[in-house]
Amino acid sequence: MKILSAQQIRAADAYTIEHEPISSVLLMERAAMECAGWMVHTFGETPPPYYIFCGMGNNGGDGLVIARRLQEQGFAVQAWLVHTADTPSADNAANQPYYPELQHIREPGEFPLLEEPGIIVDALFGTGLNRPVEGWAAGVIHKINDQRHRHTIVSIDMPSGMMADEPSLHFPCVHARYTLTFEYYKLAFLLPENGERTGKTELLKIGIHPDYTAQVQTEYHLTDPETIRTIYRPRDAFSHKGTYGHALMIAGSYGKMGAAVLATRACLRAGAGLVTAHIPRCGYEIMQTAVPEAMCDTEESALYSAHFDEPFRLRQAPDYAVVGIGPGIGADTATAKALERLLQAFHKPMVLDADALNIIGKYPALLPQIPKDSILTPHPKEFERLFGSTDNHFERLELLTRKACELQLYILLKGKYSAMACPDGAVYFNPTGNPGMATAGAGDVLTGILTGLLSQGYTPKAALLLGAWLHGLAGDLAADDLSEEALVAEDIIHYLGQAYLNIKK
């Protein structure tokens, strides 16, 4: 699914108006009808009163139509026009006569006392906002936010005060419980700084012309089920284990063998034909017992998995389809030197996570040595160690994209909507997953899944998109059965099979 800029969204509206054809007033009617329908479905036939605050632009016009639609269905509605500009937009003005009970707010002191708890509909500003809300209009936003503990706030298209394509963290902005947005997700919704203010996002289809969506170019995408089903490859009936590759998982150290077990088990469960776990001697019995399907290659070191004390180990590395390295390996000097030797010996795409990234953060000269098209999976702190800090999440996204292009790597920055930057400049956001996955070992499982998919011959881009989707979906299925609170990393592995079945439906 494409994520469009505010300018592209305006162009989509204009294209639809011209080519459907439909008038702008009727397109507004269609959008507002979808919003009103969602509210009736969500809040029921006997909801508390609706308090609708409309701005002077087309977002306010949406609010006026919503007010009329709800009132026509017999709901208790009050609506106010907030005079944030001298004159309303043409479509806003066209809808005002159809709601004669419209009240007016021209200064903060006229903000109403909302005694009965109800549903506040925020229709002040939409995607057209390109600067911070200031003056008394900002005061209205603050007054709406003051009500959020007594009332449910629903924002139309965007929370008022938020900008679609630029940072607005420190600007006045409505804190919505729900945001009803039209046709496309906005980039701002997918970044951590706006999560609390956006609430739960509901995507409403309003009939934007499909030809525009098909032809418009954008660097940002939200992965969707259709994309994943296109990527997924069913197994060949005449295949054998060699068909799905031999993966090498370099993981674990004394006290951190759990990371190695999780990554190795996930690699197998994701579908790798064979997996060899390169581990320290202290973990041999653990691995053979916990993952009997895996082969073990032990270090001379009793404590560390990645010292490569015997040169033949590195000579064997190119024989593997893929190498996954990082979970639990530690970051001592000998391990750092071993990682450097591995990068010099293995030239296929690999998966690097956890301590492998921490080592590279300490020794940035290793970055250019990573094989092209490899996958890095940092969490935000690991990303900072690798590439430096930024002032906001928009800047961090730009830095992520730039580094993926410069280094010709795939970089997955973990988060609620993990951002996956590609070497060609495209960025995909993954929507699956839940807060229960904020648990020890979940990242090790992701490393194993990605390694297992690369082993089977998926391209790095396909492995990245499919792997992130499967990882999050397995977590969602586990949370549905077990709760977010009780979720542990092993549950993600256990539900991987259900995630695959979900894709096949």
What residues are designated binding site?
58-62, 122, 126-132, 157, 160, 259, 328, 379, 414-418, 443-444
Helix, strand or coil, per DSSP, at residue 272: coil
Tokens of 421: 């930057």
Specify the pairing of strand 274-279 against strand 295-298.
parallel
List binding-site positions for K(+): 59, 122, 160
**C-alpha to C-alpha distance for 306 and 50, rounded to whole angstroms:** 62
Helix, strand or coil, per DSSP, at residue 170: coil
Tokens of 393: 């999440």
List binding-site positions for AMP: 414-418, 443
Sequence-separated contacts (24+) of 286-294 with Cβ below 8 Å: 286/257, 286/261, 287/252, 287/257, 287/260, 287/261, 290/261, 290/265, 291/261, 291/264, 291/265, 293/268, 294/249, 294/264, 294/265, 294/268
Q: What is the DSSP string of 86-142?
A: SS--HHHHHHGGG-TT-EEESSGGG-----S--EEEEES--TT--S---HHHHHHHH
Residues 447, 263: contact at Cβ < 8 Å?
Answer: yes
Residue 194, CA atoms < 13 Å, CB-side half-sphere: 29
- Beta bridge partners of residue 412, listed in sequence order: 420
List binding-site positions for (6S)-NADPHX: 58-62, 126-132, 157, 259, 328, 379, 444
CB atoms within 10 A of CB 19: 11
Q: Would you put residue 354 in left (φ > 0), alpha (ψ -120 to 50) or beta?
A: left
DSSP 274: E
Tokens of 229: 């089903």
Q: Could you give phi then psi for residue 159, rounded to 5 degrees?
A: -60, 130
Per-position b or e across 433-456, b if 16+ CB within 10 A of its CB: beebbebebbbbbbbbbbbbbbbb
**C-alpha to C-alpha distance for 443 and 258, rounded to whole angstroms:** 12
